[in-house]
């Protein structure tokens, strides 16, 4: 076997070992009592779950254990709403969240502020805005986006 081939093989084995270590599974007994209580329905299948799923569940159980009853009720309701969505809708939300996460902190802050202003409108006004948006053609929607972007750029202080 050539030296180069041996080096490539050794590097591959090393990389696989590092990757396996980075995503090692968590043993059920390594979870805290609170986490095991929250995740009790997974007890029999825990060792069969992928490591990344175990990690997400363990973090979620930790957050759940730290919540007060009011926060738990709100979280349970949000989870119920999430589960009622179609797979396609959840995928779209995940995609949009990834886009949001890739924005600058200033842009994310601007979006949060705009969302808060929208939420402060009364229900009828919010529905009117949604209805009007849904009735627009894609071209009309793009013109609105462009006008908002232009207005925002004009409002920025110039250096």
Q: What is the pLDDT of residues 126-138, one digit of tens each?
A: 999 999 999 999 9
Domain spans, the chain: 1-84
User: So what's the pLDDT on residue 128?
Assistant: 96
User: So what's the pLDDT on residue 71?
Assistant: 95
User: So what's the pLDDT on residue 158?
Assistant: 64
Token representation of residue 143: 């013109």
User: So what's the pLDDT on residue 154?
Assistant: 83
User: So what's the pLDDT on residue 7?
Assistant: 55
Q: Contacts for 153-158 with beta carbons within 8 Å, 24 or more apart?
A: none
Residues lower than pLDDT 70 in the chain:
1-23, 157-159
User: So what's the pLDDT on residue 102?
Assistant: 94
């Amino acid at each position: 076997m050539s030296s180069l081939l041996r080096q490539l093989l050794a590097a591959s084995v090393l990389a696989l070992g590092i990757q396996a270590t980075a995503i090692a599974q968590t043993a059920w007994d390594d979870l805290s009592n609170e986490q095991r209580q929250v995740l009790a329905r997974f007890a029999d299948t825990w060792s069969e779950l992928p490591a990344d799923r175990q990690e997400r569940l363990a973090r979620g159980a930790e957050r759940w254990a730290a919540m007060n009853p009011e926060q738990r009720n709100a979280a349970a309701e949000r989870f119920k709403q999430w589960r009622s969505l179609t797979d396609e809708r959840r995928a779209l939300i995940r995609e949009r969240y990834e886009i949001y996460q890739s924005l600058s902190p200033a842009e994310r802050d601007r979006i949060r502020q705009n969302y808060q202003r929208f939420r402060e409108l009364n229900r009828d006004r919010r529905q009117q805005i949604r209805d009007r948006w849904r009735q627009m053609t894609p071209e009309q929607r793009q013109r609105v986006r462009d006008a908002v972007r232009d207005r925002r750029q004009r409002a920025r202080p110039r250096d």
